[in-house]
Structure 1
Amino acid sequence: MATLDPRIATVTDRIIEKSKPGRAAYLELMRVEGERGIDRKSMSCGNFAHGFAAAGDDKAAIRTFAGPNLGIVTAYNDMLSAHAPYYRYPEQMKVWAREAGATMQVAGGVPAMCDGVTQGQPGMDLSLFSRDNIAMGTAIALSHGMFEGVAMLGICDKIVPGLLIGALRFGHLPAILVPAGPMPSGLANKEKQRVRQLYAEGKATKEELLEAESASYHGMGTCTFYGTANSNQMMMELMGLHVPGAAFANPGTKLRQQLTRAAVHRLADLAKEKKRPLCEAVDERAIVNAAVGLLATGGSTNHAIHLPAIARAAGISFDWDDLAELSHAVPLIARVYPNGSGDVNDFHHAGGMAFVTHTLLEEGLLHENICAAGNDEFSAFATNPVEGEDGPQWEAVTQSSNDMMLRPASAPFQPDGGMRLVTGNLGRGCFKTSAVAEERWTIEAPCRIFDDQRQVVTAFEAGELDRDVVVVVRFQGPRANGMPELHKLTPPLGVLQDRGHKIALVTDGRMSGASGKVPAAIHISPEAHGGGPLAYLRDGDVVRLCATNGSLEAVGVDLSTREAAKAPPPPIGTGREIFALFRHHADEAEKGGSAMLAAMEDSL
């Protein structure tokens, strides 16, 4: 076991120290829940009878406590390609649970929206808050007290964080996440990006664009670019919440089925032995491991919001200062589209998560002594599963087979991680350096102000942005409109950059995990709604964004002498008014952009 890098140790120790009050309160609640919480044996006969009335062949086993009863919380729907494979999972998992002397019931379902469908549409305003909704749905599912363990079926953007946040309120139980894997590779991502930019310039038809998109997103499984969904899978591996190597085996294969069976058997064993509960598995070290992996692989910027939220649910304080300090210690070892040419299938075949885990452990950049739920030894996550006769077999991976995509931590693509904190008189934000050429890390230009991403597209089409410009899109934070992703801006801004202009984006909104080559300061906090600095900017102000020294400034402007711009009216339609309560009480992006977590902490 390599000695932990002192920089990683310093950040971890700081997180542990500042988390002491919240973590102690959380663990005490989990102790009480474990000792006096609702469970099958403490139920009245009427309660209990309701709980197994529809259990069919498993009724007798549940009634007589013949073995642990495991709850399934599923995010299945067949509109979302990543979650469509889950259709048959529950019935299969029940069979595998019986093999292990356990039973399983579907505790409940949670919503699963596809950001790919809602990008640039009104429904995207629901996206971030769907995470809190999923967490609440998970809590409702598990509130029946019928279960001794939890299997979570979810993959995509807000779904895995939501499932995990909800399950952490039942952290006295062991829990495992069960992925379904990425779809096989379709149209090359670079070609898809080329057609998108041609369409943005009016040089490709809508039918040509639809054909390219359909060839890229073509079947069951997670989208193959390295966005938020696949970054989720990476983080769950490095937190030990999968069985080893489960992240990127394709759907519909025998290996995928064997991995799911192994997850059920593992969860049954944990429940029988009452060990490795989720509250112990998700500790400060596991959160640091997830952050290290995010930085080392150039993962999604959305996790600068989700990871603090997950940490809060476990009583842990983790912020962008921690992420920035880790970024200085962690090298970038992967280039997966949009940060490279190959997709997650290529990444997996090059060594994938097994090699990532191996090389980060070898350089002392990961905590090896975490309480992994998926295996007793965290070193097992440095192995890749292959199909075996009776179940998966795991093989050590100590080398990358493609050093254009995946490199050892001792010889990385760049010496520091993929995200940096930028601060100044315009607030605090995140800059994903791993996706941007270094010569574009500093942009200084007059700004153009917009209150909506559609306004940007209109200005682009009118030729108004064909110059050096910092595009500022404000009133896109959690309290303004739910903090939608602004991924629709990537093609037009990319076109402007390709024309030789100095282009940057500054916003209190989000960019997708697929955000790429255009320099961007995102998640600006405090947000413009309520008086954040972006509300005081005016068209023509010179804005300087520099990832090298971590600055975000309005140059030569005294913002304190101005009145704040008036926020647009709150969004309505497409169900957005239902989420007004979330918007009114949401906190800043750096804390997770959550109304639920803020209210929860106030109640403890």
Structure 2
Amino acid sequence: MTTIQARVGEVTERIVKRSHDGRSRYLDRIRAAADKGPHRSRLSCGNLAHGFAACGLSDKQALSGDVVPNLGIITAYNDMLSAHQPYEHFPDLIRQAAHEVGAVAQVAGGVPAMCDGVTQGQDGMELSLFSRDVIAMAAAVGLSHQMFDAAVFLGICDKIVPGLVISALSFGHLPVVFIPAGPMTTGISNDEKAKIRQLYAEGKVGRDALLESESKAYHGPGTCTFYGTANSNQMLMEIMGLHMPGASFVNPGTPLRDALTREAAKRALAITALGNEFTPVGEVIDEKAIVNGVVGLHATGGSTNHTMHLVAMAATAGIRLTWDDISDLSDVVPLLARVYPNGKSDVNHFQAAGGLGFLIRELLSGGYLHQDVKTVHGTDLAGYTVEAKLDGDGTVRREPVPDASGDETVLAPLAKAFQPTGGLKMLTGNIGKAVIKISAVAKERHVIEAPARVFHSQEDFLAAFSRKELNSDVAAVVRFMGPKACGMPELHKLTPSLGILQDRGHKVALITDGRMSGASGKVPAAIHVTPEAADGGAIARIRDGDMIRINAVTGALEVLVDAAEFAAREPATQDMSAHQTGVGRDLFAAFRANVGTADTGAHVFGA
């Protein structure tokens, strides 16, 4: 086993020390729950009868005792979301697989699954981040019946997987396997899609041309093929040991996809407390697994959203992960993947070049990942340096990944890393703390100085762009977009206009207490600024014309104003009442009032 890289070991050790008390309390709690044995045995006859009333006779007989395991299915299926449409038939596959090993499987509950692609730039996006916590609570309701010895979770996209992980860790005494559905097949090139978007923003093509282009990009069942939050989720689930090896990026509707689903169900049933391989999810996700997730995020140029989601997931397991930890790991983890938006290719190309098996093997060889971790597969992380194939009998077989990448422009070996540092960087300064994604930003734009232009909504910025008021260097400050203000929407709608200004040769940057889509990255963007404007943060004291400096090399985010003058300014305020009703926003007032800061996970579950 390769010695762990020094910085990775150092960061892991300080997380362990910082988390000691909380992690100990968490492990005591889940072990006490596990020691009580199968919970069905403690249900009354009336409880149990309700629990299996709709089952067939053989399943009723099986669930009457404590010997046969029952697998709970938590599903995020809906057929509006392309990534989740394939899940419609997964419960039937899982029930069949359970019966083949003498067990039972039941759908324990469904959770909402929001498509950020539909809500981008719309009012509904203000519910997006909060949907993560709703999903966690909804999944907890499903598992609260205490009918189950293990669970499988069917979810892929943006806030859905983090919400499911938070719920799974709340029931940390149960074994849990995550089952993906895979990416859609490749449509038009990402370059072509981006080009049409910019032409539309400039008024050079109409809506018909734009819709035709978008429909060719997003054209069938499966995850969107760019490397945004959804596909970053799949990478995380595999590199943290919650997927079966090689499962993440196999297309839906294929025999291999179905075989992987059946295998995952059987594996979840094999690792219950009723057998000899008991593997509770709360022990799979430990400090080393969390660090492995952060390393994977950096090595692939993954989504900035995970600077919040990973912090929130870790907290549920009693682990305190900070932005400083994430930033320090970024300084040493090499970038090994170039997938749109930090490259021209998509996740299908990444998979064909060697996929996660190749990536994990390379990172392990350099000591960047902890190999000695628990996984749902029953091996350490070295067991994930494989690719999944369909065997002649319809089951899954695994082969070691090839020695060489199938395409070094998409997936590089360690010796030919695209850059020596990771895709994410933390920024600090007199504006506050923020995150920047640098893997897709040209090196000459890693340091930007430009005058501020302040906006209080995306619409204000786009109106100014349409009026041709922004044809110069500009640091666009879009504030009152934080979680307390309006739920922290993604501001991906700004990307084409910002890109146009940058392509015209201007120095351009975005500074916001909101989020950007996981598909963004061409323009330097200091996002997740905390404290946010609605909390009286320094971003609320910036004025038009102030010089702003973003330095992604040194990690600085500064307004170049005399310190005394800047401190003496009254923070701007904003009437947010228009953001508090409509599309269900009135139902989320308690979330806005109680949400934590971006750097602590932006969740509503308390410390």
Contact 2:38 2:149 in 1 (8 A): no
Structure 1 residue aligned with 2:51 = 51
**What's the CA shift string for 1:321-373, capped at 9, x where partnerless?**
00000001100011100100000000000001010011001111101111111
Equivalent AA in structure 2 for residue 22 of structure 1: G
Structure 2 residue aligned with 1:594 = 603
State the alpha-carbon separation in 1 of the partners of residues 126 and 37 from structure 2: 36
State the alpha-carbon separation in 2 of the partners of residues 323 and 441 from structure 1: 18
**What's the CA shift string for 1:252-273, capped at 9, x where partnerless?**
0000011111101111110133
**Which of 386-395 and 27-36 deviates more?**
27-36
State the alpha-carbon separation in 1 of the partners of residues 300 and 536 from structure 2: 35
State the alpha-carbon separation in 2 of the partners of residues 316 and 278 from structure 1: 14
**1:395 offset after TM fit, Å?**
1.2
Contact 2:128 2:489 in 1 (8 A): yes
Equivalent AA in structure 2 for residue 565 of structure 1: A
Equivalent pairs: percent with the same residue? 55
For residue 327 of structure 2, the aligned residue among 324, 330, 354 is: 324
For residue 392 of structure 1, the aligned residue among 381, 393, 396 is: 396
Query: Which secondary structure state, in structure 2, belongs to the residue aligned with residue 106 of structure 1?
Result: strand
Structure 1: any 5+ residue segments left out of the alignment? none
Equivalent AA in structure 2 for residue 468 of structure 1: D
**1:409 offset after TM fit, Å?**
1.8
Contact 2:478 2:513 in 1 (8 A): yes
Structure 2 residue aligned with 1:267 = 268
**1:99 offset after TM fit, Å?**
1.0
Equivalent AA in structure 2 for residue 352 of structure 1: G
**1:66 offset after TM fit, Å?**
4.2
Equivalent AA in structure 1 for residue 566 of structure 2: L
State the alpha-carbon separation in 2 of the partners of residues 463 and 332 from structure 1: 37
**Which of 21-30 and 138-147 deviates more?**
21-30
Contact 2:486 2:576 in 1 (8 A): no
Structure 2 residue aligned with 1:548 = 553
Equivalent AA in structure 1 for residue 574 of structure 2: A
State the alpha-carbon separation in 2 of the partners of residues 444 and 422 from structure 1: 15
State the alpha-carbon separation in 2 of the partners of residues 100 and 168 from structure 1: 26
Equivalent AA in structure 2 for residue 387 of structure 1: L
**What's the CA shift string for 1:458-478, capped at 9, x where partnerless?**
111110111000000001111
Alignment of 1:68-79 (within 5 A): 68-79=69-80
**1:387 offset after TM fit, Å?**
1.2
Contact 1:244 1:375 in 2 (8 A): no
**1:37 offset after TM fit, Å?**
7.8
Query: Which secondary structure state, in structure 2, belongs to the residue aligned with residue 540 of structure 1?
Result: coil
Contact 1:451 1:568 in 2 (8 A): no
Contact 2:438 2:521 in 1 (8 A): no
Query: Which secondary structure state, in structure 1, belongs to the residue aligned with residue 105 of structure 2?
Result: strand
Following TM superposition, the consecutive aligned residue runs of length 4 or more in structure 1 with deviations greater than 6 angstroms are none
**Which of 37-46 and 280-289 deviates more?**
37-46
State the alpha-carbon separation in 2 of the partners of residues 370 and 431 from structure 1: 30
Alignment of 1:95-114 (within 5 A): 95-114=96-115
Structure 2 residue aligned with 1:292 = 295
Query: Which secondary structure state, in structure 2, belongs to the residue aligned with residue 30 of structure 1?
Result: helix
**What's the CA shift string for 1:225-264, capped at 9, x where partnerless?**
0000000000111101000010000000000011111101
State the alpha-carbon separation in 1 of the partners of residues 252 and 222 from structure 2: 6
State the alpha-carbon separation in 1 of the partners of residues 51 and 37 from structure 2: 16
**What's the CA shift string for 1:31-65, capped at 9, x where partnerless?**
22223487101111111111111112421111233
**What's the CA shift string for 1:167-219, capped at 9, x where partnerless?**
11111010000000000000111100000000000001100000000000000
Structure 2 residue aligned with 1:445 = 450
**1:567 offset after TM fit, Å?**
2.3
Contact 1:475 1:568 in 2 (8 A): no
Contact 1:296 1:330 in 2 (8 A): yes
Structure 2 residue aligned with 1:303 = 306
Equivalent AA in structure 2 for residue 350 of structure 1: A
For residue 356 of structure 2, the aligned residue among 336, 340, 353 is: 353
State the alpha-carbon separation in 1 of the partners of residues 37 and 150 from structure 2: 14
**What's the CA shift string for 1:512-553, capped at 9, x where partnerless?**
100121001000011111200111111111111110111000
TM-score, structure 2 length as denominator?
0.97
The number of aligned residues is 598
Structure 1 residue aligned with 2:316 = 313
Equivalent AA in structure 1 for residue 597 of structure 2: E
* TM-aligned CA distance change 1:337 to 1:113, over 3 Å: same
**Which of 587-596 and 342-351 deviates more?**
587-596
Equivalent AA in structure 1 for residue 281 of structure 2: L
Structure 1 residue aligned with 2:145 = 144
Structure 2 residue aligned with 1:364 = 367
Query: Which secondary structure state, in structure 2, belongs to the residue aligned with residue 484 of structure 1?
Result: coil
Structure 2 residue aligned with 1:14 = 14
